[in-house]
Structure formats: structure tokens, C-alpha cells
């Protein structure tokens, strides 16, 4: 099973978009999957308020795990991480129209009535799996 297939399967099992993205990269980046899933629980659906898509915040964590700086003076790692995040966000926005969840879904998750519409239209099942796939594909290419 490819990483994109694994991520989509993970999402279909009730994990959020951030968890689905982080989950497929975690072990290869030195963090056990259970810890990764717990750390990313609150990131789905744009922090549950429709802001930056969880697949994007999940990707930011993946990039940070791979290239981030963990020492006080490590400008090279900091710059590389920033550059890769900018590249990821640009490509993700080009492919998906935005990096913001409520723009991607065209409804605001923080609005009770619009959340009902999202659920009625099954947008979490029809749009979000492709968003997760997009994030994983971009990460695979830039890492």
C-alpha cells in the first residue's frame, strides 16, 4: 500500500486529516505512530474551527520532524524548514485552491448550520480524502 493509500485509509478509519498525514511519515522520522496520532488529534478540521487545513498543519509537523532545528543556534535547519514549508503551502494551495479548511470545503466548520451542511453533503468523505492524498503526495516529492 502506498503512503497516499495508507493516509486515505487512516482517514477513513476516523482519524482526522492531520493524523492521516503525520501517521504515514511518523515512524520513518523517529516518532512512534501512537504518539504522532495523539499529538495531532487537535489539528483536524483547521483546529476544529475551519482555519489552516489539518493536512497542512500535519505536513508542517512532518517537515519539522525531518528538517527542523532542535538546537538554539541552527539557522541552516530553520531556513530549510521554512523554505520547504513555503514550497509545500504554495503547491498545496495551487492544487486545492487554498490552505484554509473553510475555503476548501466552502463552508465554515465553526458555524453550526454550515457544519450541518458539510455533514449532509458528506464533504468530509468526498473532499477531505483527496486533500489528504494531495498533502502526502507533495510531501513525498519535497522531502
- Residue 69 pairs in a beta bridge with none
Considering only 63-67, 68-72, 106-110, which range has the smallest mean pLDDT? 68-72
Q: pLDDT-derived band of residue 45, with 50, 70 and 90 as boundaries?
A: confident
Domain that holds residue 11: 3-142
Average pLDDT of the chain? 94
Residue percentage of the chain with pLDDT more than 70: 100
For 60-76, what is the mean pLDDT? 89
Tally the domains of the chain: 1
pTM given for the model:
0.94
Query: What is the sign, positive or negative, of the torsion defined by CA atoms of 82, 85, 89, 90?
Result: positive
Amino acid at each position: 500500500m502506498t503512503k497516499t493509500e495508507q493516509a486515505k485509509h487512516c482517514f477513513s478509519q476516523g482519524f482526522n486529516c492531520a493524523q492521516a498525514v503525520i501517521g504515514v511519515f511518523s515512524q520513518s522520522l523517529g516518532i512512534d505512530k501512537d504518539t504522532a496520532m495523539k499529538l495531532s488529534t487537535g489539528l483536524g478540521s483547521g483546529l476544529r474551527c475551519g482555519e489552516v487545513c489539518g493536512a497542512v498543519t500535519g505536513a508542517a509537523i512532518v517537515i519539522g520532524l525531518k528538517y527542523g532545528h532542535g538546537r538554539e543556534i541552527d539557522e541552516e535547519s530553520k531556513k530549510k524548514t521554512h523554505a520547504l514549508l513555503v514550497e509545500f503551502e504554495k503547491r498545496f494551495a495551487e492544487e486545492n485552491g487554498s490552505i484554509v479548511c473553510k475555503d476548501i470545503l466552502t463552508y465554515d466548520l465553526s458555524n453550526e448550520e454550515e457544519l450541518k451542511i458539510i455533514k449532509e453533503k458528506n464533504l468530509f468523505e468526498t473532499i477531505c480524502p483527496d486533500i489528504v492524498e494531495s498533502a502526502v503526495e507533495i510531501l513525498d516529492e519535497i522531502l
